Structure 1
């Protein structure tokens, strides 16, 4: 049996390109794909709903798993190699479209030396592509961290991430009630439906703002 798998990191990314590649490959090789399993989730680990079903409940010895690129499988070199070893140990072939050697059937080779050389080259290419997948992830994470730090230095860090459910002005108006002992901090958190982390972050911002205003007036 032949099965396909494809993954994208976010809900905004489209699966179309990868799915087309899988279908086109199957068509040119006259392969009948039983099904293509897809996930829209990060590749940082293998805890993905559709992939888990495919690996644990669907694939059997003698089956073939087809993916478009190494990083569609995962983003961590060690984890990718461990996953591929699992399939090898369970007699499940993995074909990776971007690595030509994985598309070759070494069992048809009559020359033992040629088979050994091709398997060595294949292992080297797989490891290289796995390392590249991890390097790309680390580079992207580094850029994200640098971008966040730059925003923090500019004072724009609030723009990062999800929009606030409660504006600082709304919090300021309600926080005055705590200052005059009209209500306790815990009761205000419950009333505003915010966590203690959010509460104290807002509180800290107001304190910093107050300090800055005092500096302006005293200079």
Structure 2
């Protein structure tokens, strides 16, 4: 059985081109995910692995649609080989040929698969490196990441004095400061730890 798999990294991206090429190749069943290729914890990919059987052929538009992490992708490729599932990437000319009885073409195909997974992994590593460099430069420029720290209201000290003297309780203090419960108690915890 010819089974197709396609993937895009984000929900905004379109799968139509990949699906069309898999249908044209003759895939009887197509699984598709809109998810990162960093790992294989994808709903449709998991269903595909449950459904695929010995002697089936798994067809992808390009090998990086299978996965972008070299180590994990090679592990998946090995899984399919161990279970006698043939792999075909439509963008590779060697996979268009019948490799089932030809050791030389199988070897070429395996080399190409290895090169593709290496390039995909390299691309992920480059992107992550650029991202880390961008974060480092932003931090050097004083740009802060994460949630902004909550400022204490101007009346905080005076109202905290009333709470500590038991003139008012925390609920009244929240009202007077115009703060939500979570914000008030976060500030109170921070205030108490700074006083110690």
Report the TM-score when normalising by structure 2.
0.74
Can you list the C-alpha shifts for 1:110-142, whole angstroms capped at 9, x where unaligned?
xxxxx3322222211110111001001101111
Q: Which runs of 5+ in 1 are unaligned?
A: 110-114, 208-219
Q: Which runs of 5+ in 2 are unaligned?
A: 164-169
Q: Secondary structure at the match of 1:129?
A: helix
| 2:37 corresponding residue in structure 1 | 43
Of residues 149, 174, 177, the one that matches 2:156 is 177
Report the TM-score when normalising by structure 1.
0.67
The answer on 1:85 being equivalent to 2:64 is no
**Measured at CA, do residues 7 and 153 of structure 1 come closer, stay the same or move farther in structure 2, by a change above 3 Å?**
same
Can you list the C-alpha shifts for 1:142-187, whole angstroms capped at 9, x where unaligned?
11111222222223344xx7xx5xx65xx2145963796355xxx9
Please say if residues 102 and 122 of structure 1, whose CA atoms lie closer than 8 Å, have aligned partners that are also in contact.
yes
- More displaced stretch, 85-94 vs 149-158: 149-158
The answer on 1:116 being equivalent to 2:103 is yes
Number of residue-to-residue matches in the alignment: 177
Structure with greater Cα Rg: 2
- 1:35-74 aligned at under 5 Å gives the runs 35-56=29-50, 58-74=51-67
**Measured at CA, do residues 147 and 51 of structure 1 come closer, stay the same or move farther in structure 2, by a change above 3 Å?**
same
Q: Which has the higher helix share?
A: 1
Q: Distance in 2 between matches of 1:94 and 1:193?
A: 58
| 1:132 corresponding residue in structure 2 | 119
RMSD: 3.3
Q: Distance in 1 between matches of 2:90 and 2:30?
A: 15
Q: Distance in 2 between matches of 1:19 and 1:193?
A: 53
